[in-house]
Structure 1
């Protein structure tokens, strides 16, 4: 079979490998879709401290069960499934409290275990242990199911920020995550959603797809002034920074309403994670700032349901489909910022 293995920054090789066999408690998949994201770009260029090469990467996985390991029950050959990316231990203090997204023992597909840029792969027993193998609802394509993983992360972020009926929401960043935030906010009852993106071309592509109520390009206008104008001077009730930008986080403090919530959804570069925060704005306006880290197995299940019910459509966000032998092209397509969602179809 063919796999795409990461060896070092700038060195991902398409190779032949023997088909794996599932051990006890494991499941073997024929990978049908493994979608790509900005994390794959970062891994390809800089590596990751949790990845010990060589490693098959790819973590937005959907496929078909082709073999069951000893002791696996409740599944059948031919079942279509989606696989969680982040694997909590299920046993630590945080997991027992229900905070699976911040499990200190978390492992990940494509990092600690071979991922989905392969024709076949093994779902480890730890995934099944935490109920992280999810049946794809009838009528949903493998490509759509692969987008459940990023949507699950978006769902976690919006739950933490309390996005709900009547909210005015600003989403900063018009990549696939920003587009999912726009659509999920709408499905959760937000009355007005604004999309902000520095790249005018990317903003146009995204806005044409997800149709926000307003689109703002900070390269052309002051985004803080524009948000205040749109909200009669109050500011947005929720601002979500779905971009790795300290400036976006700083701006969020100035465009959010009193008692507003800010989600620092996108992490910052590890060599520049510090921002200027006017603590008095937080204090006197009673602002809430929340982080968001990945998703739980339950978020993945609910994301699949949201997609299947049509509450958060994703099919039109998949702008590029490439075979496994063009996986490097897929990653570079994500990097150049012109695509929304790129999926690999082994």
Structure 2
């Protein structure tokens, strides 16, 4: 079968490899969609400390069961069978550490990941490892949800995790930094689930702003390369600031601006991680103190967030179909990475 194999930074090869063999405590799937994100591009260029080469990458996976290990259904009380349509979690908690026992699976200290420690979905077939089954991380796709939509459930789950930490209330004014796919998902969740008020979308890329604005229709787009973002948000809110600010981008300045523009009792999500070479920002601690601001980190998701993402997609609360603007075959997977890197689409999916 064909698979995209990572050997080293800048050495990623689409090659023929043996079809994987399903073990007794595993499930084998035919990959139908594996969507792409900025993390895939980072791995291409820089690798990752948790990724041991050679490794098949790809972590936003949906597919069809082709084989179920002999021990799976008896061990996990499941009823998986060939032909089942499934979505696979990416971040895999251990289920046993202090954080997992507290219900904080998104920050499991022993977390492993599909496409890092386990071969991922940029391949024709993939093995769902036992650890995914152990934490109930293989999910049935609802009948009215397509494979491409289901593959978007993983990044969607990360956004759900971030927003549930923030105590968003109906009518809140929201600012989202980052007009990429995750920024669009944040807007859809804030509106569809939390029924927020005005939403303002910020980016420095005018074309990306235009493309995303057509899809999610924010109340205003703010081109941060042209205007003072904090000043503009203050104007839009009558000097009060934003109730909720989400920085879905890896830029230090957006986190600093988020603090400056937050209203009293404002909630801020540092959703996008910063480069390891430059992870420090300037924080006016008095703003945090006197405005009683709440600053939240957000790291990945738990299995339950993936299930909730599929439910929101199925019920229509949070549509994602129209956010998938490019579809490519596995033979063009490296072209998909270029599209993501250049910001030429909202969401790009690969269809092995």
Query: Is 1:47 matched up with 2:47?
Result: yes
Identify the match of residue 302 of structure 1 among 308, 313, 324.
Answer: 308
Structure 2 partner of 1:155:
160
Structure 1 partner of 2:102:
97
Q: Shift in Å at residue 164 of structure 1? A: 2.7
Task: Report the Cα distance in structure 2 between the residues aligned to 1:184 and 1:47, rounded to whole angstroms.
Answer: 31
Matches within 5 A, 1:282-301: 282-301=288-307
Q: Shift in Å at residue 116 of structure 1? A: 0.1
Q: CA RMSD in A?
A: 0.6
Matches within 5 A, 1:166-205: 166-187=171-192, 188-205=194-211
Task: Report the Cα distance in structure 2 between the residues aligned to 1:225 and 1:100, rounded to whole angstroms.
Answer: 38
Identify the match of residue 333 of structure 1 among 315, 320, 339.
Answer: 339
Q: Shift in Å at residue 260 of structure 1? A: 0.4
Query: Is 1:123 matched up with 2:121?
Result: no
Identify the match of residue 319 of structure 2 among 308, 313, 317.
Answer: 313
Task: Report the Cα distance in structure 2 between the residues aligned to 1:279 and 1:338, rounded to whole angstroms.
Answer: 38
Question: SS of 2:72's equivalent?
Answer: coil
Q: Shift in Å at residue 166 of structure 1? A: 1.4
Question: SS of 2:165's equivalent?
Answer: helix
Query: Is 1:13 matched up with 2:13?
Result: yes
Task: Report the Cα distance in structure 2 between the residues aligned to 1:256 and 1:33, rounded to whole angstroms.
Answer: 38
Task: Report the Cα distance in structure 1 between the residues aligned to 2:145 and 2:293, rounded to whole angstroms.
Answer: 39
For the 8 Å contact 1:2–1:15, the answer to whether it is kept is yes
Query: Which deviates further from its counterpart, 269-278 or 222-231?
Result: 222-231
Task: Report the Cα distance in structure 2 between the residues aligned to 1:104 and 1:196, rounded to whole angstroms.
Answer: 33
Question: SS of 2:45's equivalent?
Answer: helix
Query: Is 1:241 matched up with 2:247?
Result: yes
Query: Is 1:206 matched up with 2:212?
Result: yes
For the 8 Å contact 1:164–1:185, the answer to whether it is kept is no
TM-score with structure 2 setting the length: 0.97
Question: SS of 1:258's equivalent?
Answer: strand
Q: Shift in Å at residue 5 of structure 1? A: 0.3
Task: Report the Cα distance in structure 1 between the residues aligned to 2:195 and 2:144, rounded to whole angstroms.
Answer: 26
Query: Which deviates further from its counterpart, 297-306 or 160-169?
Result: 160-169
Query: Which deviates further from its counterpart, 106-115 or 305-314?
Result: 305-314
Q: Deviations over 1:69-116 (max 9, x none)?
A: 111221111000000000000000000000001101000000000000
For the 8 Å contact 1:152–1:295, the answer to whether it is kept is yes
Q: Deviations over 1:117-161 (max 9, x none)?
A: 000010001000000000000121100000000000000000111
Q: Shift in Å at residue 225 of structure 1? A: 1.1
* Structure 1 stretches lacking a partner, 5+ long: none
Query: Which deviates further from its counterpart, 8-17 or 86-95?
Result: 8-17
Q: Deviations over 1:2-37 (max 9, x none)?
A: 100011111111111111121121000000000000
Q: Count how many residue pairs are aligned between Structure 1 and Structure 2.
A: 346
TM-score with structure 1 setting the length: 0.99
Query: Is 1:4 matched up with 2:4?
Result: yes
Identify the match of residue 232 of structure 1 among 235, 238, 248.
Answer: 238
Structure 1 partner of 2:329:
323
Question: SS of 1:331's equivalent?
Answer: helix
